[in-house]
Amino acid sequence: MPTITKIEIIDLNIPFNHPFKIALAVMNSAHNIIVRVHDSDGLIGIGEGVPSRFVTGEDADNGFESAKLYAQLLIGKNPLEINTRLRELEQYMLKNPAIRCAYDLAFYDLLAKHAELPLYALLGGTKQVLHSNRTIGIDAPDKMAKIAKQHVENGVKALKVKVGTGRNEDLARIRAIREAVGSGIPMRLDANQAWDEITAINILTALAEYEIEVCEQPLPYWNFEGLKRVRERSPIAIMADESIFDAHDAFRLASLGAVDYFNIKLAKSAGIHGALKINAIGEAAGIKCMLGGMSESLIGVSAGAHLVCVCPNIALHDLDSPFHFAEEPSIGGVDFQVNGTVTLSDAYGHGADVSPEWVEKSKRLVIGD
Ligand code: MG
């Protein structure tokens, strides 16, 4: 059996092409942690974690340190015993889902490379072309409408729209976008916890006529009972995002009947292992899932796309984070077009890696030989 001989930790600091505003923050760059896990058979598994202060409670600095501590724990061990390795990481340090995600993705990538299979095939999935929505950040209604129109003209099949600055502004945004794109394009809202119960019910009721497919996280992350009450009175389906990290959250939300959808993000679920559990609970409860993202490069996006091909219950795809980047730091993996189509490669594993140029210019640490 192979053993882990060396782990590279790379801190990718990726500038955005435009500031991206959501109800929680304005983002100007992504700061992602990559791990490259080398084994004694000469194979390398690559994983990415996206620490986010306002979602996972991690940042790039403490993420880099956590990745280093985990690396010291992992050297000399068998990387193919994924369940045992992940349990050790979870027991070693509480939380840290984004950094545990980086290792989870690297282990699955490595396992697929040993099996000489693409990751979706290793997990029993069926290759398909995915259609990601394109996401529009918070801005003036006319600016958002213009961007929406451009996306639809490019062939995008669904839009995700960030809202959450106030009732009248949010209503004006949705009206302007629907007028610009016409009927028939599904619109997914994301309030990123901005509203209280009354505001949420008020706004969602007023939006009933605008063909809104779902509203993501209308309330603060902790308010599971409030989500249930909003769902009972809203004409629009409700999705949990910041409220759902792991299988325990999924079980509680499903038991309460609090939401119609789960938004699975690998950085919250600590990778594929946790995501499969959330999806299974959703499927058992009749709750469809979205595969969403934070600010993943094509490494995290590729791993997510492979997972979607394994889980038919993951019905909605929100994978467009690489379009925010001024420059893509990774190579290989999925092919992503401006119309939102995502096509998987037949490379072994998820197929993506950091480009040599970005390895060269990024903060990097090597643990092991
Ligand atoms: Mg969200």
Give the per-residue pLDDT at 94: 86
Q: What is the CA(133)–ligand 1 centre distance, in A? A: 13
* Residue 76, phi then psi, degrees to nearest 5: 90, -10
Rounded to whole angstroms, how far apart are CA atoms 248 and 229? 20
Annotated catalytic residue, options 241, 242, 249, 353: 241
Contacts of 32 (CB under 8 A, 6+ apart): 11, 12, 14, 48, 49, 50, 51, 60, 295, 296, 297, 300
The number of residues making up the chain comes to: 369
Burial (CB < 10 A; 0-12, 13-18, 19+), residue 326, is exposed
Q: Tens place of pLDDT for every residue, the chain, 369 residues?
A: 999 999 999 999 999 999 999 998 999 999 999 999 999 999 999 999 999 998 999 999 999 999 999 999 999 999 999 999 999 999 998 899 999 999 999 999 999 999 999 999 999 999 999 999 999 999 999 999 999 999 999 999 999 999 999 999 999 999 999 999 999 999 999 999 999 999 999 999 999 999 999 999 999 999 999 999 999 999 999 999 999 999 999 999 999 999 999 999 999 999 999 999 999 999 999 999 999 999 999 999 999 999 999 999 999 999 999 999 999 999 999 999 999 999 999 999 999 999 999 999 999 999 998
Contacts of 215 (CB under 8 A, 6+ apart): 188, 189, 190, 191, 200, 204, 234, 236, 237, 238, 239
Decide if 216 is catalytic: yes
Give the per-residue pLDDT at 369: 86
Annotated catalytic residue, options 8, 58, 190, 296: 190
Give the per-residue pLDDT at 74: 98
Give the per-residue pLDDT at 244: 98
Tens of pLDDT, residue by residue over 150-180, are: 999 999 999 999 999 999 999 999 999 999 9
Rounded to whole angstroms, how far apart are CA atoms 127 and 121? 8
Decide if 228 is catalytic: no
Closest C-alpha to 46, from 283, 347, 369: 347
Annotated catalytic residue, options 265, 288, 320, 353: 265
Decide if 265 is catalytic: yes
